[in-house]
């Protein structure tokens, strides 16, 4: 069965609804043999709210889902296309011309690897740049403000230059311990 991955464009914010609707329609119309997985690529993001650090899921590609379909089936490929295309809150397939373009194996592998990597090492909600003003929200220097001197993305840390007793002092902090000013 030559199932291939396609990108389906949906209304942003309705990815889960479309996924459930597709699964129900596939089941109801007895077309499970033409479909494989339906995925919504997500990433884990670390954010701090009310002083508490938490991990939240965020969509990598808002407004898009990945669907594995056999559109090349000579008898029922068009039916599968219509089933997806006529599902509520689906705006269409990504691709040029009348026929949608399937993703290459490399593209699928890259997307799925990105999802796995995001689960293993959650990324911070904010990324900081050298020279940017930040406020320290946690630790012994809480409520101090300073300027970002260095950013270490691998360790998710920043070195902030803070003025203590009239002297500029470097302080190493995690991304979750600082927030942008302004």
- 3 state SS of 94: coil
Query: Which CATH superfamily groups domain 4-113?
Result: NusG, N-terminal domain (3.30.70.940)
pLDDT of 146: 93
pLDDT of 175: 83
pLDDT of 49: 65
Q: Domain 132-180: which topology?
A: SH3 type barrels. (2.30.30)
Task: Read off φ and ψ for residue 114, nearest 5 degrees.
Answer: -60, -40
Residue 78, both tokens? 């068009």
CA 103 to each of CA 11, 93, 125: distance values in angstroms, whole numbers, following the listed order: 21, 11, 29
CA 173 to each of CA 31, 47, 130, 161: distance values in angstroms, whole numbers, following the listed order: 53, 15, 14, 11
pLDDT of 91: 93
Report domain extents, the chain.
4-113, 132-180
Per-residue pLDDT tens, the chain, 182 aa: give them: 589 999 999 999 999 999 999 999 999 999 999 999 999 988 877 766 666 677 788 888 899 999 999 998 888 989 999 999 999 999 999 886 678 889 988 888 888 777 776 666 666 666 788 899 999 888 888 889 999 999 887 777 899 999 888 898 899 998 888 888 87
């Amino acid at each position: 069965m030559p199932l291939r991955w396609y990108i389906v464009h949906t209304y942003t914010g309705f990815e889960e609804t479309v996924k459930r609707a597709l699964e129900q329609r596939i089941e109801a119309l007895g077309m499970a043999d033409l479909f494989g997985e339906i995925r919504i690529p997500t990433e884990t993001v670390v954010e701090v709210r009310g002083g508490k650090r938490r991990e939240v899921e965020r969509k990598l590609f808002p407004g898009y889902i990945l669907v594995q379909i056999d559109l090349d089936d000579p008898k029922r490929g068009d039916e599968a296309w219509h089933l997806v295309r006529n599902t509520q809150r689906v705006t269409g397939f990504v691709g040029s011309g009348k026929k949608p373009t399937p993703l290459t194996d490399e593209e699928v592998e890259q997307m799925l690897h990105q999802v796995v990597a995001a689960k293993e090492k959650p990324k911070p909600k904010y990324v900081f740049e050298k020279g940017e003003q930040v406020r320290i929200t946690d630790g012994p220097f809480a409520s101090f403000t300073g300027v970002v001197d260095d950013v270490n993305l691998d360790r998710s840390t920043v070195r902030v230059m803070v003025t203590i007793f009239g002297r500029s002092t470097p302080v190493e902090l995690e991304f979750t311990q600082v927030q942008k000013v302004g």
